Structure formats: structure tokens, C-alpha cells
Amino acid sequence: MDLYAERGFDQTTVADIAARAGLTERTFFRHFADKREVLFAGSAQLQELMVAAVRRAPPSTPAIEAVAAGVAAAATVLTDHQFSRQRQTLIESNPVLQERELIKMARLVAAFTSALRERDVAEPWASLTAEAGIAVFRVAFERWVKGAGDRTLAEMILEGFGVLRTIVADPTPRDRS
């Protein structure tokens, strides 16, 4: 992250990263497919954690509440505000990284949709619920990384689902801040 911040993502090479870490390039490639993966290495584990929470929700749990549990699970591991802010700033400054982040979110929606189908949620409702849950996650995460760090991601997620419930109950959106 320091190298990316110092030189920029495009100007930082795998050789630079390996040298800074005291490794060879060969060792780097044993752990990462390319330099983007340094920023996205934990994506699969995060997705597994989130989807497992959806699957663990009791069968009687409404679909959106199961998804809320999945999204809330992310907050148990995404706790380093400064790192998350630095990573997000880097992603926002580079179109290639933005694309990779969008792919990650699309995979998460697909995984949530699949988990909801396993819970016998029919289409298009499984897809809609998954998309809504990931939208709450994205908005909460963005607010968290851009905030002062005085509130946790978990608080932002809880607030986001509360706002979603309010919008569903009263479909005339107003500024409630």
C-alpha cells in the first residue's frame, strides 16, 4: 500500500513490491497472480464468510434479514479504518482497480442470490434481495471509509438496513439525516 501511495499503482512493479517485502518476484507470484491481487487477496474469504452467514440464518428468517446477516458478517473482519480508506482511495483513482472491485461486487451478488435460492427464495426476488443487500453494503462501506472513523462499519450497515426498511415502508423517500 505504501508503494502504491508513493508511486501510484501503475508505476509500481511486482519487482518493487517484492523488494520492499524482502522477497523474490518468484515468491511474490506464489502468493499473488498479479499486483492487483495484493489489494483483492481476501475477497474470496470475505465472500465465503458473508455467504455462510446468509446460509446460517434460520429457515423462517425473511430473505432480506438473512442478507443483512451476511452483510453484517463483513463488519467483523473489515475493522481497520485507515487501511480500508487507503485501499479505497487507491481503487477509486484507477479504472482497472475500479473494474476489479465491480467484478468482486457482482460475484458477491451472484453468491448471495445462489444462497437465497437455496433457501427457496424465487426469482426475481432472490436477485433483487441480493442486489439490495449489496447496495446497502456498498453505501455503508463508502460512508465508513470517507468518515472520520468515529463510527464502525457495523453501525453503518445497521443504519443502512434501517433506512432500507424505512424506504420500503414509506416509498416516498425524503432526506432523513
Encode pLDDT of 138-160 as tens digits.
999 999 999 988 999 999 999 99
Output DSSP code: residue 48.
H
pLDDT, position 168: 84
Q: Which helix (H) or strand (E) holds 94?
A: none
* Number of residues written out for the chain: 177
pLDDT, position 174: 63
* Among 114, 117, 100, CA closest to 48: 114
Low-confidence ranges of the chain (pLDDT < 50): none
CATH superfamily membership of 42-169:
Tetracycline Repressor, domain 2 (1.10.357.10)
User: In this structure, what are the phi and psi dihedrals at residue 100, rounded to the nearest 5 degrees?
Assistant: -65, -40
- On whether the pTM is more than 0.85, the answer is yes
Q: Where in the chain is the domain with CATH 1.10.10.60?
A: 1-35
- CATH T-level assignment (fold) for domain 1-35: Arc Repressor Mutant, subunit A (1.10.10)
